Amino acid sequence: MDTEMINIDGMMCGHCKANVEKSIGDVAGVIEVKVDLEAKKATVTLDPSATNLDEIKAAVKDAGYKVVV
Ligand SMILES: [Cu+2]
């Protein structure tokens, strides 16, 4: 199990936070996701044999938000 932190730009409210959490949570292999709206960060616990950071980033982009590296 890996824990990754990503910075996300474009989240303005609790709805955005919920959107991002759902998008990341729907990725197969994601075990847990927590989004901190004020810090603009997501903490993702994932199974590295099932997914990877690129897939998480793609899910965030697909939801309409920007991953800041
Ligand atoms: Cu919003």
pLDDT tens digits for 10-27?
999 999 999 999 999 999
What was the pLDDT predicted at 25? 98
CA of 32 to the centre of ligand 1 (A): 21
Confidence of residue 9 (pLDDT cuts 50, 70, 90): very high
What was the pLDDT predicted at 35? 98
Structure-token pair, residue 65: 């938000």
Q: With pLDDT > 90 as the criterion, what percentage of the chain qualifies?
A: 99
Number of domains in the chain: 1
**What domain range is 44 assigned to?**
2-68
CA of 53 to the centre of ligand 1 (A): 23
CA of 5 to the centre of ligand 1 (A): 20
CA of 38 to the centre of ligand 1 (A): 12
Q: What is the CATH number of the domain that holds 45?
A: 3.30.70.100
- Between β-strands 41-46 and 2-9, what pairing exists: parallel, antiparallel or unpaired? antiparallel
On the question of pLDDT at 69 being above 90, the answer is no
What was the pLDDT predicted at 51? 98
